[in-house]
Amino acid sequence: MGHMDNLNLLMNKSLIVVEDDPDDQFFLMSAFEEIGFAPYVHWLNSTVQLMECLDALRDSGAGYPHAILLDYNMPIMNGEEVLIKLKRDEDFKDIPLLIYSTGMNNGLMERLNNLGADGSYFKANSAVEVIQFAKFLQQKIATAVFRR
């Protein structure tokens, strides 16, 4: 998919989700559909796609998403590497970046938060928890309540 295709898909999206696991994508997508938030979510499968989309948005002047939800365990660049890269970029540093992982622990949460993450979370592992997490994300975005 080219930059312009991504750009057209991204316009007016509130949340970009970067997740490479098909099962996790399915459960989170289903939860967003259930709460009526699915139309505001754009899905990417890699951190490379994320950087391409953000570059396309920067080049177009179209504005940025309200937040990015990123799986920590991604190939090529993990969540921490993406966090450092985005927070060092003048154009991207203010986009709230939320990182989640099945392997999240207090030490990793503290490190990510100290590096500028706007939230770090354990991946939900039941349908009820996934829906609660989706509602939590929708509420944070709707009220623009992030850690800062």
- Closest among 146, 147, 127 to 35, alpha carbons compared: 127
d(CA 52, CA 19) in angstroms, rounded, equals 15
Residue 35, CA atoms < 13 Å, CB-side half-sphere: 20
d(CA 25, CA 6) in angstroms, rounded, equals 18
Task: Quote the pLDDT of residue 145.
Answer: 59
| Residue 18 backbone dihedrals phi, psi, to 5 degrees | -110, 105
Task: Quote the pLDDT of residue 13.
Answer: 65
Burial of 148 by CB count in 10 Å (0-12 exposed, 13-18 middle, 19+ buried)? exposed
CB 15 within 8 A of CB 65: yes
Task: Quote the pLDDT of residue 12.
Answer: 56
Give every CB contact of residue 22 below 8 A, 6+ residues apart in sequence.
Answer: none
Residue with tokens 């030490």: 107
Residue with tokens 């850690």: 147
Q: What is the pLDDT of residues 6-38, one digit of tens each?
A: 444 445 568 999 999 999 999 999 999 999 999
CB 45 within 8 A of CB 71: no
- Closest among 30, 49, 32 to 41, alpha carbons compared: 32
| Boundaries of every domain in the chain | 3-141
pLDDT < 50: residue spans in the chain: 1-10, 147-148
The correct answer on CATH 3.50.50.60 for the domain covering 3-141 is: no
